[in-house]
Amino acid sequence: MTESSDLPSAYKRAFARLGQLTPLTMDCGLLCGKACCHGSEGEGMILFEGEPVQDRSFSVSDMDIPGYTVRFLVCKGFCRRKTRPLSCRIYPLAPYLEKDGALTIIPDPRASRMCPLQSRYIARVIDPRFYDAVEDIFTDLLDIDGFRPMLEAYSKMLDVYKRFA
């Protein structure tokens, strides 16, 4: 395990690994009017464990998910793309821990009603380089002390959403 003090450098590596990669080879926001960038008090993105807030164009609050408190960001409609949180950068995918503890990357069930990429064809439309980068990032983050408990709680939260998606 890597020490939790390595989180800032892990996020720098994560953001560098994604670079300019996006789910499609074009701006997917053109398909939906950037629907995921228009949050409200209850609609936003969860910060992953130890992730820094790099942009003041988000409002930040605490949110309880099953067995864990996370920081929750709501977009005010515009941010500098280079300072988006990891949840925004990987959308509409989500890291997920299976019951046996194995990491998988799944379509984010919370996006099912908002994102046009969320369909049974998602595996065919998402750029495979993007998918691989997301998997690499969370494989790296899981090596950091304290990250797994947050991701376990996050996965339980996704289980609830999967029932309704």
Mean pLDDT across the chain = 82
The pLDDT value recorded for residue 162 is 84
The closest alpha carbon to 35, from 139, 108, 111, belongs to 111
Query: Which position has the higher pLDDT, 83 or 66?
Result: 66
| % of the chain beyond a pLDDT of 70 | 76
C-alpha dihedral, 87 to 143 to 64 to 122, nearest 10°: 40
- Beta-bridged to residue 93, according to DSSP, are 107
* Residue in the block written with tokens 């988000």: 58
What is the Cα–Cα distance from 32 to 67, expressed in whole angstroms?
34
What is the rounded radius of gyration, in angstroms, for the C-alpha atoms of the chain?
15
Structure tokens that stand for 140 in this block: 């790296």
Domain ranges in the chain are 4-164
How does DSSP classify residue 146? T
What is the Cα–Cα distance from 71 to 125, expressed in whole angstroms?
30
| % of the chain beyond a pLDDT of 90 | 35
Backbone angles phi, psi at 11, to 5 degrees: -70, -35
Q: DSSP string spanning 66-125?
A: TTEEEEEEEE-S---GGG--HHHHHTTEEEEE-TTS-EEEEE-GGGTTT-TT-STTHHHH
The pLDDT value recorded for residue 22 is 81
The pLDDT value recorded for residue 69 is 94
Query: Which of 65-74, 105-114, 131-140 has the weakest average pLDDT?
Result: 105-114
Query: Which position has the higher pLDDT, 32 or 154?
Result: 154
